[in-house]
Each structure stands twice: as structure tokens, then as C-alpha cells.
Structure 1
Amino acid sequence: MPDLLWDDHVAWLLDPARDGWLPDGYVADTTPADWQAVLDLVVERGWERTFVVGCFEMPLPPAAEVLSWPSGAARPVLSVRPGPGVGVVFRFRSAERIDFDVDLAQLRGQEGLDALCGFLAAVGRRLGRSVPTYAEGGSGPFLGYDCEADRVLVR
């Protein structure tokens, strides 16, 4: 049984016209080791990924290397596709916070919702932390993995 049902719970919540195309997600109080754990998870799961710096696609380096790049350098972006219709974009802004956006452009239906929930839960379980998402630029979480409940919940 899925954590959430598309028709009953979240079709309205994941409408890009309502909350923007790229809702924000993050895990706070992280370290380079946490970033590396997420990168390892992406590789282990075999999720399709693209690591881009400026205009150049590159192999995925260790997190500590990326996070140590000097300020002013081109900031890398890691795009991940954890399932059909789900795109997640990680931004390496600081070691202390794992930032990502969820691309809602193609997320439709139960299959996409299940993939998104699976992604949020996998990251949360790997880090042992809750993983909230927020409406684009919003202040309160609307959907996320709750570590204590061990499931994805609507907020």
C-alpha cells in the first residue's frame, strides 16, 4: 500500500500552478559525510543522474571535493530521476544543508507520487532524519518524510 494516494490526498497539492514548478526540499544540520551518503544512495539505487558544472557535464565527484570548491566558482547541480515522472535537482550550496528542488513538470498520477515518496523516504532513512518539502519559496512544509513515523506525510 502506498504512503499516500494521488486521488485522495495530493493531486491538488502537487499542482505546479498552485505551488510552483520546483518545490524546495532540504535536510538541515548536515555534514559532508551526509552529502556523501546521499550521493552514495543515488549511485546504489541506480537512479539516472547528471552532474553539471557551468555548461559541462562531469562524472560525479566525492561530496567533500564539491563542497570545498572556492566561493565564486561555478556551483554544481546534480539532477536525479528516482522514478518515472520525478526529477530532483540538488544544489551544493553548503555542507550544513542538503538543498534540492522537486520538478513537478512531469509528476502526475500514483506512479510518480510513489516514486517521489520512495525518494524522500530513502534519503530520510539513509540520513536518519526527516525530509520536508516546501512550496516554492514557502515557509511551511507541505509534504515530507517524517523520520519518527517512518513514512511520507502531508503537512
Structure 2
Amino acid sequence: MAPKISLTLDCKDAKTLSDFWKSTLGYIDEPPPAPFRTREEWHASFDLSEDDSADDGAWLCDPDGVGPRLSIIKVPESKTAKNRLHMDVRVPGHGSPDERWERIRAESERLVKAGGTVLEEFDGHHFVMADPEGNEFCVAAAST
């Protein structure tokens, strides 16, 4: 059995970034680990400094259990360079190349309205975008 992976994004504002990625991926807030009833209860179980807050992180999951878990964690430093790893958001659906491109374009426009930024367009193929904190990702067609 292959190991499961989870992805972690460093951030300045976990709430803003988690809202963006929930909208982008259709993810939901991951329930806290047992036996905790809330993330706040789970967070309080650690011996953390008073500066640490339950709002400093977010844990997201695919409601269908297929995609990797996404942790969004507040860090003190800002992003300084291009990501060495990025996500590809794959837009589902079949059809002609023009129909696939229209779906990709529509999804990139939706993500701009959600707080993303288009960095580069590769006409007919994919968009390179950034989330509200500058983390790069691509929007492309799902593999056929």
C-alpha cells in the first residue's frame, strides 16, 4: 500500500488562505482528531505559548476522501521565492480542445474572483496563478 500524502502551505493569514483553497478545491474543514470535539479543544491540549492561537492554522480535507489533506499554518516569515512544488488544479470534463479551454478559462476567472491572481496564460493549455499569498499553482484540464 502506498503512503498517503498531505500538503502544507505556510501563510500569514490562515483564514483567508483556507477560504480560498476550500473554494478552489471543494474541500471542507477536517474534523479534529479523536477524542477532541473541536480544533480549539485539540489546540488547547498542547503546551503552546500565549502567542499561538487556534486561528493560526487550518486543516482541510477532500469530503470524498480522495485528495490529499491540506494544512495551512501561520509562520512569521513572508514568502520570498518561487514554490519548488506547486499544485495543478485539474478542471474536469471532456469535449473538444476549445470546450476544455473554455472550462479552464472560466475556472481561472472564478478563482480570480475568489482572490487568486493570473500570473501567466498559456493559450489553449493552462494558466499559472497565485493564491492570495502568492503561492503558485496551475489551472489545466483533467487528464483524459
TM more than 0.5: no
Identify, as 1 or 2, the structure richer in strand. 1
Which structure's relative contact order is higher, taking Cα pairs within 8 Å and 6+ residues apart?
1
For Structure 1 versus Structure 2, the TM-score category normalised by the shorter chain is 0.3 to 0.5
